[in-house]
Amino acid sequence: MTDEAPKSAFELAMERLRKKDAEEGVTTTPMTDEQKKQIAEVRSYYEAKIAEQEILQASALKKVWEPAEREEVERQFRREREHLASERDSKIEKIRRG
């Protein structure tokens, strides 16, 4: 018997995923400090852009009373936030790949 504590479901799942990756030839390399720094900068920039969009949306909604117009304003801002999030994720993935 070993003195190891029982593994959690998460630990067991991670072991299976690592084993599967190894069998498929997938390798992972830890991120460098520079990559971490760049990713943090990208996240910070896009968090600010999304916060800016939320402020603009709140301001725009204060001026609109018609339900159809409000829905259109919300749709436009939702689309812009999705665009920013997609752009952010794309840049982060590019940094991770090196």
- pLDDT tens-digit map of 13-43: 888 888 887 888 777 778 899 999 999 999 9
- pLDDT tens-digit map of 62-74: 998 999 999 999 9
**Residues 61-90: what's their mean pLDDT?**
94
d(CA 83, CA 98): 23
Query: Does the pLDDT of residue 1 top 60, yes or no?
Result: no
Query: Which of 19, 40, 18 is CA-nearest to residue 31?
Result: 40
Within 13 A of 38's CA, how many CA atoms are on the CB side?
A: 14
Please indicate, yes or no, whether the overall pTM of this predicted structure exceeds 0.75.
no
